[in-house]
Structure 1
Amino acid sequence: MPIVVTIESTPRRTFATVADWPGWSRSGRMEADALAALAAAADRYAPIAAAAGTSFPGPDERTYEVVDRIEGGAGTDFGVPSRVTDLERRPVGAADATRLAGLLAAAWAAFDRIAAAAPESLRKGPRGGGRDTSKIVQHVVESDQAYAREIGVRVKPFGPDDRAALDAMRAMMLDVLRRPSDGNPLADRKWPLRHAANYITWHALDHAWEIEDRSAPA
């Protein structure tokens, strides 16, 4: 079966996102660029699926079908796949909710492992920009606290070194995402369950892969 993809685009940036594999979303200038980046990321995503105990399409099974194209916005231009798609508004059964939560848990574990193994100083961009490892970790932890609120999980602010608070927050977030959903936004806010799983997983993996890429020699 084809891998179902949605396209979110503006004149400046395009995201290609796999509807049923949270976090598998890459961007490019044009649609073809985004689809090429998505396909190139498959082998990086495969270990996440394996860690979650989920069967992932092999290289010979990866054909892609774009089923929806939506207009992006300021978030898209900024570099995040921010639009909620119709596919993300589908109901989620118990088994699928457990699967989505498992993939997020695997992405968090990968982020933690990659960040722990990385040097503090990461290779800078062509203009000397880019956060070092501890700043990326801080950003991800702080962002996850905001995402927790989006799905109805309330936590007191904490720093990136408070492992007990981080583990407790993640456990509560996963508990929310494991529950079946009718596709309506969680906690009467904006994100349906599928979008929450997609966005939070994407953010963790995007920064994990950034750390990997910027740890490698130029």
Structure 2
Amino acid sequence: MLTGMNHRVYLEIGPKKVFACSIDWPGWCRIGRTEEAALDTLVDYTPRFRTIAERAGLEFAPGDPAVVERVRGDRTTDFGAISAIPDFDREPVEAPEAARAVALARAAWAVLAEVAAASPEELRKGPRGGGRDRDKMVAHVVEAERAYARKIGVRHKPFKDEAGLTAMRDDIAGALARPAPAFPPGGAGWPVRYAARRIVWHVVDHIWEMEDRRT
């Protein structure tokens, strides 16, 4: 279960900010103003990501981070979202890795639902007085997923009920679960490995934001 070894990380380096992203644990990404700050923050969030990994039924002992790739980011990076696709993501994805990614996605969705249910509608504002309240944050996550899903061939019209959400997420999980061949540079859509990371990261990022702003 990826224990007892270095924890592989890549850095997405934007003009002003840097993301440190786990390769072995899709969705575990943190941002900082420097490479060192991003890596330190990633490590600081180990206990919080453990909640997601254990909910997925995975043993979580990531080891020390080891940077294996650096990729150029852009203004999206500086805005606070991962956007660059590392070379590693274009390599084939075998069934065990795909199954782990699906388990993490389903765990993140379940934890988000629980955190939202335990949070007030009105959340504490950010340092500049902004930030979505609970229901708008959840709706934002869902709409983002609907857009992300199209990058892996899953298309759903807008929906407003739980059945529609479940159907879309089941289709996303199905797409992520399939072993994937090497993804050619310039290929349409997203490599499955990148899609899993982006989808899980976005859910987890808002779980942590909601937890931090509900008190």
Which TM-score band (shorter chain)? Answer: over 0.9
Q: Distance in 1 between matches of 2:15 and 2:94?
A: 36
Q: RMSD over aligned Cα, in angstroms? A: 1.2
Q: Residue in 1 aligned with 2:130?
A: 129
1:22 shift after superposition: 0.5
Q: Residue in 2 aligned with 1:16?
A: 20
Q: What are the ranges of 5 or more consecutive residues in structure 1 without an aligned counterpart?
A: none
Q: Distance in 1 between matches of 2:54 and 2:128?
A: 37
Residues 92, 181 of structure 2: 8 Å contact kept: yes
In the alignment, does 2:33 pair up with 1:29? yes
Q: Distance in 2 between matches of 1:64 and 1:90?
A: 21
Q: Distance in 2 between matches of 1:55 and 1:34?
A: 24
Q: Distance in 2 between matches of 1:41 and 1:131?
A: 22
Percent of paired sites with the same residue: 49
Q: What amino acid is aligned across from residue 33 of structure 2 in structure 1?
A: R
1:62 shift after superposition: 2.5
CA offsets 1:50-91 (integer angstroms, 9 cap, x no match):
11111110xxx6211111111111211111111000121121
Q: Residue in 2 aligned with 1:173?
A: 172
* TM-score between the two structures when normalised by the length of structure 1: 0.92
Q: Distance in 2 between matches of 1:96 and 1:8?
A: 22
Q: Residue in 2 aligned with 1:120?
A: 121
Q: Distance in 1 between matches of 2:24 and 2:97?
A: 9
Question: 5 Å matches for 1:149-160?
Answer: 149-159=150-160
Question: 5 Å matches for 1:99-110?
Answer: 99-110=100-111
Q: Distance in 1 between matches of 2:88 and 2:28?
A: 15
In the alignment, does 2:72 pair up with 1:68? no
* TM-score between the two structures when normalised by the length of structure 2: 0.94
Q: Distance in 2 between matches of 1:127 and 1:136?
A: 17
Q: Distance in 2 between matches of 1:51 and 1:151?
A: 25
CA offsets 1:107-166 (integer angstroms, 9 cap, x no match):
11111111111111111112211110011011001111111111101111113xx10100
Q: SS of the counterpart of 2:70?
A: strand
Q: What are the ranges of 5 or more consecutive residues in structure 2 without an aligned counterpart?
A: none
4+ aligned runs moved over 6 Å, structure 1: none
Q: Residue in 2 aligned with 1:215?
A: 214
Residue from 50, 55, 69 that aligns with 2:54? 50
1:48 shift after superposition: 1.1
